[in-house]
Copies of this chain bind each other. A is one copy, B any other.
Amino acid sequence: MAFAFELIKKDLRSQARLGKITTSHGPVNTPVFMPVGTQATVKAMTPEELKEIGAEIILSNTYHLYLRPGHELIKNIGGLHKFMHWDRPILTDSGGYQVFSHNELRKIKEEGVYFQSHLDGSKHFLSPEKTIEIQEALGADIVMCFDECTPYPATRDYTADSMERTHRWAKRCKEKFIHDSQFTAHSSLFGIVQGGMFQDLRKQSAEEITGIGFDGYAIGGLSVGEDKALMYEMTDAVIPYLPENKPRYLMGVGTPEDLVECVARGVDMFDCVMPTRNARNGTLFTKHGKLGIRGALFANDKKPVEDGCGCYTCKNYSRAYLRHLFAANEILAARLGTYHNLYYYINLMQDMRRAIEEDGFEEFRKEFYGMRGQESE
């Protein structure tokens, strides 16, 4: 089945959108949050649990899988879906973000990026063509263009140069992608808008990237250290220049508040390590805010993490037990925490979709903020 996006409806009083992506591995209802499965596993979870929670798509990292176990090995086993036993859609990033964030080990050239592995120091080269080749070997349903995630802060000159290179790379990605029609027939390619923290560059990047033409559009280079207001401002600067009939993906974002704010601005897709990483550190999300479950005040607490939560963790375990598991450094701590946090994130998206359907997004947003910090824990 070919990739498609249907814009089902728009909220009456916000820019929030309800949509549906179709892929050869099934549908994705938007707005959607994509759990991160960096190394071909969403940390601590099985695919069955992700489905139980309601995850419709996951993100996996090209850089990590290219280095270990290697994309050719995964291709040989039957592709990433089969390798990791996940039969729903997978979006793979381009690897660019990781290559660029290991700053001291890389050299950027027009042809691509030379870098050393963070695992063993071995030398590698990643380019627009190469990342498409890797993502094709993995069998991604959504392939991302190779871009430079402009660092923050950056000068206007650096940002403009970097952005223009990202545009040239985007063209090369598309050329490489459409070349292999057998793969492209059941996959899709997303372009990435850059432009740092400059409104006019953001607009220019959106126009140039949409000019090339992709199956969907990502906003990259945000949530890199700037404050919230600036992040929302940059999102607002891009959205008007993205076509309505294509999905919009805000990369690497974010907190529950970020999701609500950016859905309100017209974003359809999100990914972030926050729910999974925080869970492993004992920080759990609830409608009342964050809960540091390691805290001594939970030692004798018979209540679930979140009253009324329908997740496996909350239905069966007390805060006291979770606190004990974290104190004892037990694997089950990471499991139960991750389960709850992903359930929270995915249900938050579901609640937002319902609100949009009923033209009640602004009421939802008010209620969302009203509940924060209400419970005295």
Residues of chain A having any CB pair with chain B under 8 Å: 39-41, 43-46, 68-69, 73, 76-78, 83-85, 299-300, 302, 316-318, 320-321, 323-325, 327-328, 330-332, 334-335
Contact = CB atoms under 8 A, between A and B. Distances in A.
Given A299-B69, A302-B77, A335-B331, A85 B43 contact: no
A144 B198 CA distance: 71
Contacts of A331: 43-44, 331, 334-335
20 contacts: A39-B328, A39-B330, A40-B324, A41-B330, A43-B330, A44-B332, A45-B332, A68-B327, A68-B328, A69-B299, A69-B323, A69-B327, A77-B300, A77-B302, A77-B320, A83-B318, A83-B320, A83-B321, A83-B324, A85-B316
Nearest to A85: B316
Nearest to A65: B324
A321 B323 CA distance: 32
Contact of A85 (B317, B320, B335): B317
The 3 closest A-B pairs by CB, nearest first: A44-B331, A39-B328, A69-B324
Given A40-B321, A83-B320, A335-B335, 17 more contacts: A39-B324, A39-B328, A40-B325, A41-B325, A43-B330, A43-B332, A44-B332, A45-B332, A46-B335, A68-B324, A69-B299, A73-B299, A77-B300, A77-B302, A83-B324, A85-B316, A331-B335
Contacts of A68: 324, 327-328
Given A46-B335, A300-B77, A69 B330 contact: no
Contacts of A321: 40, 77, 83-85
A50 B68 CA distance: 31
A332 B83 contact: no
A45 B40 CA distance: 20
Most B CB contacts (10 A, CB to CB) among A39, A318, A332, A335 go to A332
A327 B64 CA distance: 12
A156 to B, nearest CB: 40
Nearest to A302: B77
Given A68-B324, A84-B321, A331-B331, A73 B300 contact: yes
Contacts of A40: 321, 324-325
Given A83-B321, A300-B76, A302-B77, A332 B69 contact: no
A328 to B, nearest CB: 4
Contacts of A324: 39-40, 68-69, 83
Contacts of A323: 69
Contacts of A78: 302
A327 B41 CA distance: 13
